[in-house]
Chain A
Amino acid sequence: MSDGYVTPDGRTIGGKVLEMRNITLRFGGVVAIKDISFDIREGEIRAIIGPNGAGKSSMLNVINGFYHPQEGEILFHGEVRKPMKPFQIAQQGVARTFQNIALFKGMSTLDNIMTGRFTHMKTNIFSQMIWKGPAEREEQENREIVEKVIDFLEIQAIRKTPVGALPYGLQKRVELGRALAAQPKLLLLDEPMAGMNVEEKEDMSRFILDVNDEFGTTITLIEHDMGVVMDISDRVVVMDYGKKIGDGTPDEVRNNQDVIDAYLGVDHG
């Protein structure tokens, strides 16, 4: 799989968007991630799974720059990435959602998703103060993209609602919308289905698949719920105690003895 591959359902997967090489992350004496390598390819849905405390969220935080690994390198579009701040990584086209929903609770759905366009908005503060001209034009252009995202996620009804007042499932959807609005090169989803009921999970799975299908967005997601992950992802990394114990298609992973022992074994007694 050096130069992409074709999925069973006929989608063509391209080159490496992101490559993690021998990443080790420590917090004091605790090793959260130990010597892990894997890659994420253009157009694929890549999952990272593992039991609680396996280091999945830490891995996502390394990718988006909240954590800086002590060892290893990260290649973004084939180039070694210097240690960067999260906002700089966002400017490079990496968007994310959070396990515990990190929306701007006092702001409306529309405003929240508009913040997702931040990296695309270039007018300076002074022309924003004048408003007429570039700033207004820019606002309108970006607003159109945001409205498309709102249509796509079927959340027109809650456009003006402060997101703090929305039910959990909808908040998750708004957060996805904010990340989508950035038109990211790489979309990171931290447990997008955590805490959802079956119906909400099905909705979310459908949105994830549609995003990937319609916009060709490369998606990396972390999930606890193995069933859903196996259904929607192209390739899966399995982590346990900070180590990588499996990597491959859902079928390969399912039949990997280490994975069965460490993950399924624990899960199903």
Chain B
Amino acid sequence: MYDQLLYGIEAAINGLMTGVMYSLVALGFVLIFKASGIFNYAQGVMALFAALTLVGIQSGQVPFAHLINALFGTKVHHFGWTLPAVAAILLTIGVMILFAWLVERYLLKHLVNQEPIILFMATIGLAYFMEGVGDLMWGAEIKKIDLPIPQGINETIDSLTYDWFGYGFYIDNLDITASIIAIFLVISLTIFSQYSTTGRALRAVADDHQAALSVGISLRSIWVIVWGLAGFIALVAGVMWGAKSGVQSSLSLITLKALPVLMLGGFTSIPGAIIGGMIIGMGEKVFEFVVSSSWFGDAMGFTMNATENWFAYVLALIFLVFRPQGLFGEKIIERV
């Protein structure tokens, strides 16, 4: 039983950190939703696109190589250089800002004052459009993130826990890194939005569009900033998830992992996205651990596997029933 308890704690810690990775994706949703009321379905694809772009730029791939070769009969694939990681990251951030500007200029601008459902549909369209563009630009094969991110078992924790409990916990360095980065991101975002002029403008726009306009804030430039920030967060999420499971089109499915996090944490709360992610991640792993264990089997007469696919949604649904606005969401009171 003591063993089982230790395995359970290990699963919980790992779940917690996987949850932080979900939060990274959810964070991008929250930013855009707060500022513009748009549920951006494309957030997952943005993560994929950002990761593809990073790998492509870093390895010196020629963008749209297949297209260029087909059109002009050339055989270009690589520029023949590899860029240092920092340069590639900065360039990718530049691309994501350009992307934000393009989205505002060619999509959002034409959809001002439309129903939320129309905007939602537009982001679904955007998601698949981007997936296509990503393919065309960088090719569809699975790619590897080539950044100096620590990966594999953390020896220190392993040996420490072995000394203490007689059982070494398996905690992945990647998860630890991702957690630290996510926490750092949240803290800096919070400070930025609390104390800077632009941060105040972001909160103002999130609160009341008309009033924001009346004090001289341009909604359009705020949207570019918000989409740019969401693009940056997508890059971080894309890199972390990409390092975990390779950069491939299934990466965009992390959207589906972020959804229950948002249902639980509330669509408008940055801390909600983090706490929500942790609860979902931990709940998922612990539940799976319990229902697939042999003692659960002995007691109940059956065991369950692969509960990770649905558990998050069930948990989120239960939360929805009791707290529709989410854990930290603002309660909406309609005056009659």
Interface residue ranges, A against B (CB under 8 Å): 64, 66, 85-88, 90-91, 95-96, 98, 102-107, 111, 114-116, 118-119, 121, 123, 125, 128-129, 131, 135, 138-139, 178, 182
Contacts and interface: CB of A to CB of B under 8 A. Distances in A.
Given A87-B218, A123-B197, A135-B196, A115 B213 contact: no
Contacts of A106: 203, 206-207, 330
A57 to B, nearest CB: 13
Contacts of B211: 98, 102-104
A111 B203 contact: yes
A89 to B, nearest CB: 8
Contacts of B214: 64, 86-87, 90, 95-96, 98, 102
A139 to B, nearest CB: 7
A18 to B, nearest CB: 16
30 contacts: A64-B214, A85-B218, A86-B210, A90-B213, A95-B214, A95-B215, A98-B214, A102-B214, A103-B208, A103-B211, A104-B208, A104-B211, A104-B212, A106-B206, A107-B200, A107-B203, A111-B200, A111-B203, A114-B200, A115-B217, A118-B216, A119-B215, A123-B197, A125-B196, A125-B225, A129-B196, A131-B195, A139-B196, A139-B197, A182-B216
Contacts of B219: 87
Contact of B217 (A87, A96, A128): A87
Given A87-B216, A111-B203, A98 B197 contact: no
Given A87-B218, A96-B214, A114-B200, 19 more contacts: A87-B212, A91-B216, A95-B214, A104-B212, A106-B330, A107-B204, A111-B203, A115-B212, A118-B215, A119-B215, A119-B216, A128-B192, A128-B199, A129-B192, A135-B197, A138-B197, A139-B195, A182-B215, A182-B216
Given A111-B200, A115-B201, A128-B192, A104 B207 contact: yes
A177 to B, nearest CB: 12
B201 A118 contact: yes
B250 interface: no
A129 B93 CA distance: 15
Contacts of B195: 131, 139
Contacts of B215: 90, 95, 115-116, 118-119, 178, 182
Given A107-B203, A115-B201, A116-B215, A66 B192 contact: no
A205 B224 CA distance: 41
B198 A128 contact: yes
A172 to B, nearest CB: 14
A135 B330 CA distance: 31
Interface of B: 192, 195-201, 203-204, 206-208, 210-219, 225, 330
Nearest to A112: B204
| Smallest CB-CB A-B distances: 10 pairs | A90-B216, A102-B211, A119-B216, A104-B207, A128-B196, A86-B213, A121-B197, A87-B218, A91-B216, A87-B213
A102 B204 CA distance: 11
Given A107-B203, A125-B225, A102 B216 contact: no
A218 B330 CA distance: 39
Nearest to A90: B216
Nearest to B228: A125
Contacts of A131: 195-196
Contacts of B330: 106
A105 B200 contact: no
Contacts of A121: 197
Nearest to A86: B213
A91 B199 CA distance: 19
A62 B213 CA distance: 14
A98 B210 CA distance: 10
Contacts of A98: 210-211, 214
Contacts of B213: 66, 85-87, 90
A264 B13 CA distance: 74
B207 A105 contact: yes
Contacts of A107: 200, 203-204, 207
A118 B197 contact: yes
Nearest to A125: B198
B221 to A, nearest CB: 9
A149 to B, nearest CB: 13
B204 A115 contact: yes
Contacts of A104: 203-204, 207-208, 211-212
